[in-house]
Chains A and B, each alone.
Chain A
């Protein structure tokens, strides 16, 4: 488990980071929890690692204009334990708390996780359910993409060469919204075989808002709009929930591997969707 030779730099500003990233075969390093294992397996062999940890401004969590603005370098542990996140966006805190183990959560970052775009990563389910925005920056300027456009495919994002994720924004949860993240854990890796995030808001005895994000089921995490449509306007009975959850895997090209065949994964997606919806509905009151 010995990586190839590489150089290592610790820029002190974004501008410096962009300059270094412009060099050939340079790669950003955040928590290293995905990149370093790939290098040790020699599946990645960057010539230069640009460690972002000294870049100022990437590790704050702020509430601003009804949004939580989370710096790319905020760790899973910070998200899981931050009082601000726990009260303003409990779904993200819940998802963060289910990632890997404590060592991984202490090192790994939300920016690194989304940039890596592992199809079995935990955050994307919640980020889809939250309709998160991802802010990207490069030497030329900034742009903001919806999570659905940012995550393009297995290990593939909209990031341009030399571009960084700098911030992820999620809405501050309105009072009365119930949320839940339910994960079926792959016993070896700890990643999600499937993970489902749900948000439910009720008004006048009806579901006013339903948001469902799914990870692990296929090559690309997604928002299950078909499930949401069946729920919005419904009373949210157990029957409503199981009917809605039943369609979550419809038309999805499910992953098939040692740990779960495609049809079992689809089944699990339905079960975990129902569980996430039921838990969220319960909390929504």
Chain B
């Protein structure tokens, strides 16, 4: 029997560099645009320059006559292709029929009108310019509150009020507590429209094999399996004849948690021409054709007793939907409502959502998806309440937190918070910044005439989407573990990671359970022909749900491994650890490789046991998980220019059990950066005609490294009882906790001037206008 030295420690919990990084850093990964195929054609999409217009005529002849052009398709060609799907259902939801190419009307600038197919990418692009389209331009509306005004242009003429849906949720005795409250604070708070800007734009290669009547679509997507089911339906194709591959995906942030017109369109084109076809979204196209995020105007009212106890919160939420529903568009603001109570104990809430069509790019899930907006609102309201009551913002939070002994905690919005010790990260963060001394520093700064601010946010979020009844397409996740004959381990996860690092964290989990080295495990994902059905990566779910599926598959497999071990050791009392099966009586052992070899060779089989070592588990989570944390931001404002400098950024996050601190740090950093982007820089600006004015990186400011502070990051670890790993989720935490902390800090800095609230982004000019008393 072999005598390899057992690996002494667990890998879970260790700071391990990501297995996927070398190929990403050295440029050797394969993204959609790296795919080359014999006979591959190229597509270029002509898009409407107008936000609202009737398509009077399209003359494709000049494009078709261009040498090298193989085909041109317009709306008429694809009218029988099924609509771009909306997976969200709400009572009374108005769903416009979303054709993959415009029919008789365009509804937003960027609306696809025609597709040109050529043997050459450049020729396709040139020929697209030669298509002659006659537009009858109509009045457009880009601002959701203007769209609600009487007489506003109708985005979809059949619904003149521009209202796609309304949604109401209420709990407790709202009117009573507001009537009796000692203090009521009201504020309109916006979360501006943002553009996700994944580093890799979208792209699709579709490859229809006429002989096999089978289509393969390679797409930069977060949800290959869902996309397969939905696109098969759109194309009227049997699902098993469609394979979807998500190769390397260069970031998504929710923008690729979708099924887009172009995915079905390329499938359609490839089936028509009988050749593979590639479409790569240009960056400019991406600004218009990939979903945007946020887009809220929120009217909050908060009520409190005279000791600062929060009694209730109301919200009227106006959601800018854009021109169409993409996959989850109308569902996103409902997540804001779910998380309205934040970390606080009050039970009286009332929320009303109005979902409004505008002649703009559709909005949908963008990192945090509804929760940043909710957290921004509640954390701003709590700060305003504290200011009104002359309480310290930390004190008012500590007073109102749900207490540790109250978990599981039933919220006013119908959720059951799993676990939490909300004062822990806050107290840790306060210690880290030395809060008492910091306030002294601030007093001194103010005496010197400097504008220094201290802002904090204590956020809660909802992760691990989710129990299937609460998710449109099922909320479980799947995993297969296969021990190869040599003892190497292959994992298939139905989650489709795209930068989050699950090739490493899942390998850590599998390596620990199987007792093998990290490099003995490979994690495969993102190909419907290889991986059993899965849901995907979004909503900070991959580890909490997909990792748990993996954990259970590993347990199933261990049972089988032990059966083989018992047989080989001729023992009825065996245990499995550190990569070997041990007879508890004799101490003799066999390695995993020996067991695996025996299972595939199958000379002998344990009773009622099949050959081979493979297990698949589909795990249905009983609940969401609810991470939380506290961020503290110190700012100073340049009194001459209004520019905000972040002097310190402290993030203490509790994402449950940490599998890999390095990856968690990366997720927190990335999230915080996007939060700072929203708080200080980013803004998707449309003019009154529905033209996107910030349609490229020359005008849309995502933060660069030189514009960012050092992020001091720390943790508390409160395990989730929802899954055996105790993990919660961390993909979106940074974004959710960040923006209110930054804005609270800036408002705190400006509070001596009587400032109570400012909307994002906090541009220097906006602050300068405040500093000059609006007189400048």
Q: Which positions in A face B, CB cutoff 8 Å?
A: 1-2, 4-5, 41-42, 101, 184, 186-190, 258-261, 263-264, 267-268, 271
Contacts and interface: CB of A to CB of B under 8 A. Distances in A.
Interface stretch (B88-96, B497-505, B556-564, B692-700): B692-700
Contact of B122 (A5, A190, A259): A5
Contact of A267 (B121, B701, B703, B768): B768
- Size category of the B interface is 20 to 34
B282 A189 contact: no
B284 A1 contact: yes
A189 B698 contact: yes
Nearest to B683: A258
Most buried by B among A4, A184, A190, A264: A264
Contacts of A259: 699
A188 B701 CA distance: 4
A20 B221 CA distance: 47
Contact of B126 (A5, A260, A264): A5
Given A1-B283, A190-B704, A261-B765, 15 more contacts: A1-B282, A2-B44, A2-B121, A2-B122, A2-B125, A5-B126, A184-B641, A187-B701, A188-B694, A188-B697, A188-B702, A258-B694, A259-B699, A264-B765, A264-B768
Interface string B40-58: 0000100000000000000
B699 A258 contact: yes
B685 A258 contact: yes
B5 interface: no
B694 A267 contact: no
Nearest to A270: B640
27 contacts: A1-B282, A2-B44, A2-B122, A2-B125, A2-B282, A4-B126, A5-B126, A187-B701, A187-B703, A188-B694, A188-B698, A188-B699, A189-B697, A189-B698, A190-B704, A258-B685, A258-B693, A259-B699, A261-B765, A263-B776, A264-B765, A264-B768, A264-B769, A264-B776, A267-B768, A268-B641, A271-B641
B759 to A, nearest CB: 16
Contacts of A261: 765
Contacts, number: 50
Nearest to A41: B284
Nearest to B707: A187
Contacts of B44: 2
Given A2-B282, A261-B765, A271 B640 contact: yes
Contacts of B284: 1, 41
Nearest to A265: B765
Contacts of A258: 685, 693-694, 699
A257 to B, nearest CB: 9
A189 B693 CA distance: 14
B46 to A, nearest CB: 13
Nearest to A3: B122
A36 B446 CA distance: 49
Contacts of A189: 697-699
Contacts of B122: 2, 5
Contacts of B697: 188-189
Interface string B700-740: 11111001000000000000000000000000000000000
B88 to A, nearest CB: 33
A90 B336 CA distance: 54
A262 to B, nearest CB: 11
B709 to A, nearest CB: 15
Interface in B315-342: none
Contacts of A101: 704
A187 B694 CA distance: 12
B681 interface: yes
Interface string B397-422: 00000000000000000000000000
Nearest to A275: B640
Contacts of A190: 704
Given A258-B685, A260-B765, A264-B768, A188 B776 contact: no
Contacts of B681: 187-188
Contacts of A188: 681, 694, 697-702
B78 to A, nearest CB: 23
A4 B284 CA distance: 16
Contacts of A260: 765
Nearest to A272: B641
Nearest to A271: B640
Contacts of B703: 187
A258 B707 CA distance: 19
A85 to B, nearest CB: 23
Most buried by B among A5, A41, A188, A259: A188
Contacts of B707: 187
Interface in B650-706: 681, 685, 693-694, 696-704
Contacts of A41: 284, 696
A90 B381 CA distance: 51
A42 B44 CA distance: 15
A89 to B, nearest CB: 25
Contacts of B129: 42
Contacts of B282: 1-2
Contacts of A5: 122, 126
B768 to A, nearest CB: 6
Nearest to B680: A187
